Structure 1
Amino acid sequence: MNGRSTISKKQTGTYYKFPIDSVFFDRKGRVEKLKKYVHYFEATDNYQKGASLYVDIEQIKEFDYFPDGVLSNYRVVNYCGRETGKNVNEVCHIVSYSLSREGRKFIVVRKNEPKNDYSDGTFIFEFDSNFDMKGMVFTNVTKKISRNFIIELNEDRNVSRYLYEKDGRINKTLLVNYNNSPNAKYKVETTVCYFEDDGISYYQKNTTTGKSRNRNKLTMKWNLWK
Structure 2
Amino acid sequence: MVGTPVLFIAIPLLAAFLIPLFGMIWKELVRIVPGLVLAYMLVLSVTLFNHVLNYGPIVEIIAGWSPPLGINLVFSPFSGFLVTLMTFLGFIIWIYSYRFKRNVDFEPSKKYFILLLMLITGSIGIVLTGDIFNMFVFIEIVGISGYALTAFYTGRNSAEASFKYLFMGSLASSFLLIAIMIIYTQLGTLNMADIAGKIHTVEPIYKITALIFFLVAIGIEAEIFPLKFVWFILCLMFQVRLISF
TM-score, normalised by the number of residues in structure 1: 0.23
Q: Whose helix proportion is higher, 1 or 2?
A: 2
Answer with 1 or 2: which has the greater Rg.
Answer: 1
Q: Whose strand proportion is higher, 1 or 2?
A: 1
TM-score, normalised by the number of residues in structure 2: 0.22
